[in-house]
Amino acid sequence: MKYANKLWFVAAGIVIWFAVYLNLERLTSLLFEATGISSVKETYARAIEFFVFEVPKVLMLLVLIVFVMGIIRTYFSPEKTRAALEGKPLFAGNIIASVLGIFTPFCSCSAVPLFLGFVEAGVPLGVTLSFLIAAPMINEIAVVLLFGLFGWKTALIYVSTGLFIAIISGYIIGRLKLERFVEDWVYKLKAGANNAEEEKTDFAFRIESGYAAVKEIVGKVWIYILIGVGVGSFAHGYVPEDFMAGLMGKSAWWSVPVSVLIGIPLYSNAAGIIPVVQVLLEKGASLGTALAFMMSVIGLSLPEAIILKKVLKLPLIFIFFGVVGFGIMLVGYIFNFIY
Partner 1 sequence: MDIKILGVGCPRCKKLEQQVRNIVAENNIDASIDKVTDVQEMVGYGIMATPGLVINGKVKSSGITPKDEQVLNWIKEEMPQ
Contact residues toward partner 1 (CB under 8 A) are 77-79, 82, 105-107, 109-110, 112-114, 116-118, 120, 185, 189-196, 310-311
Nearest to 63 by CA among 181, 179, 145: 145
- Confirm if 246 and 67 have CB atoms less than 8 A apart: no
Bridge partners (DSSP) of residue 182 are 312
Instruction: Give the orientation angle of helix 125-137 with respect to helix 111-120, to 10 degrees.
Output: 150
- Confirm if 77 and 105 have CB atoms less than 8 A apart: yes
Bridge partners (DSSP) of residue 312 are 182
Whole-number minimum distance, CB 302 to partner 1, in Å?
16
> Among residues 114 and 149, whose Cβ is nearest to partner 1?
114
> Among residues 157 and 308, whose Cβ is nearest to partner 1?
308
> Among residues 118 and 335, whose Cβ is nearest to partner 1?
118
CA distances from 94 to 90, 156, 315 (A): 6, 20, 21
Residue 14 burial (CB count, 10 A): 13
Whole-number minimum distance, CB 320 to partner 1, in Å?
18
> Among residues 204 and 252, whose Cβ is nearest to partner 1?
204
Nearest to 150 by CA among 285, 37, 259, 251: 285
Whole-number minimum distance, CB 307 to partner 1, in Å?
8
CA neighbours closer than 13 Å in the CB half-sphere of residue 105:
16
Whole-number minimum distance, CB 229 to partner 1, in Å?
25
Distance between CA atoms of residues 103 and 99, nearest Å: 7
Whole-number minimum distance, CB 141 to partner 1, in Å?
17
Alpha helix stretches (DSSP H) within the chain? 3-22, 24-35, 43-73, 78-85, 90-103, 111-120, 125-137, 140-150, 152-175, 184-188, 203-213, 219-238, 245-248, 255-263, 270-282, 287-299, 302-308, 314-338
Whole-number minimum distance, CB 193 to partner 1, in Å?
5
> Among residues 53 and 118, whose Cβ is nearest to partner 1?
118
Q: Reduced to 3 states, what is the DSSP secondary structure of residue 312?
A: strand
> Among residues 105 and 230, whose Cβ is nearest to partner 1?
105
Whole-number minimum distance, CB 196 to partner 1, in Å?
4
CA distances from 103 to 100, 131, 265, 280 (A): 5, 11, 26, 29
CA neighbours closer than 13 Å in the CB half-sphere of residue 134:
30
> Among residues 55 and 186, whose Cβ is nearest to partner 1?
186
> Among residues 26 and 190, whose Cβ is nearest to partner 1?
190
- Confirm if 242 and 252 have CB atoms less than 8 A apart: no
Whole-number minimum distance, CB 133 to partner 1, in Å?
17
> Among residues 7 and 116, whose Cβ is nearest to partner 1?
116
Whole-number minimum distance, CB 189 to partner 1, in Å?
6
